[in-house]
Amino acid sequence: MKHSLKPLVPSLWRALAVLCLMASLAPAMASELANKLRDGHVLLMRHATAPGVSDPAGFKLDDCRTQRNLSAQGHQEAARAGAWLKAQGVTQADVLSSAWCRCQDTARGLGYGEHQVVDALASFFENPSQTQATTAALQALVAQRRSKPKALILVTHNVNIQAYAGAHVGSGDMVLARVDARGRVLGFEHLHVPAFEPAAPGRLQLH
């Protein structure tokens, strides 16, 4: 029995047209967060879940075994945050991190390739006298890097984000900060990463 393809041709063309339209609309739908990160905004992220408070006595930055580290949940949170960011159109980013292993593991988990460790993101939880100097260094860093073509993601600690932006953040939470040319924070918004599935592209969720 012979089957004619003629009745199928219009349907195939319509399906192809719909796919092409979706492909052309996807970048626009997913551009809200990406556009903000190209236009005077930076993303501050607290390291993902690492059970405990502070670090054990005598810890060493070059030995992760002596530090408070990400749990299995923390690794999942980092990967989920990276997937969500990409779903929002943030396909390329420069990721800078604190030297602490829990921050570096979070930075790796985002999935943007190699990250850079910078002193301006180092925790001063156990050395509050460094608050002003470290925060000033972070402001200078943001001023220097904010105009780069890629999104800027800074993985650090709650104390650093509080001192710089005035925002308290939970483990794995992110803050979208609007900054001026001198790196000063003009305002911020908390970003909400869905617990299980990436949000639909273009639907930036804030709380």
Q: pLDDT per residue over 158-168, tens digit each?
A: 999 999 999 99
List the one residue out of 26, 176, 30, 153 whose CA is nearest residue 89: 30
pLDDT of residue 44: 98
3-state secondary structure 18-75: HHHHHHHHHHHHCHHHHHHHCCCEEEEEECCCCCCCCCCCCCECCEHHHCCCCCHHHH
The structure's pTM equals 0.80
pLDDT of residue 26: 44
In 123-167, the DSSP E strands lie at 151-156
What residue segments make up the domains of the chain, in order of their start? 30-191
Give Cα separations from 4 to 8, 13, 146 (angstroms): 8, 16, 59
pLDDT of residue 96: 98
Q: Which residues of the chain have pLDDT under 70?
A: 1-30, 195-207
pLDDT of residue 9: 52
The angle at the Cα of 160, spanning 207 to 195, to the nearest 5 degrees, equals 35
Looking from the CA of 31 toward its CB, the CA atoms found within 13 Å total: 9
Separation between Cα atoms, residue 96 and residue 118, nearest integer Å:
7
Separation between Cα atoms, residue 182 and residue 134, nearest integer Å:
15
CATH assignment of 30-191? 3.40.50.1240
pLDDT of residue 4: 52
**Residue 44 bridge partners (DSSP):** 154, 175
Q: Which residues contact 100 (CB under 8 A, 6 or more apart)?
A: 47, 55, 61, 67, 122, 123, 157
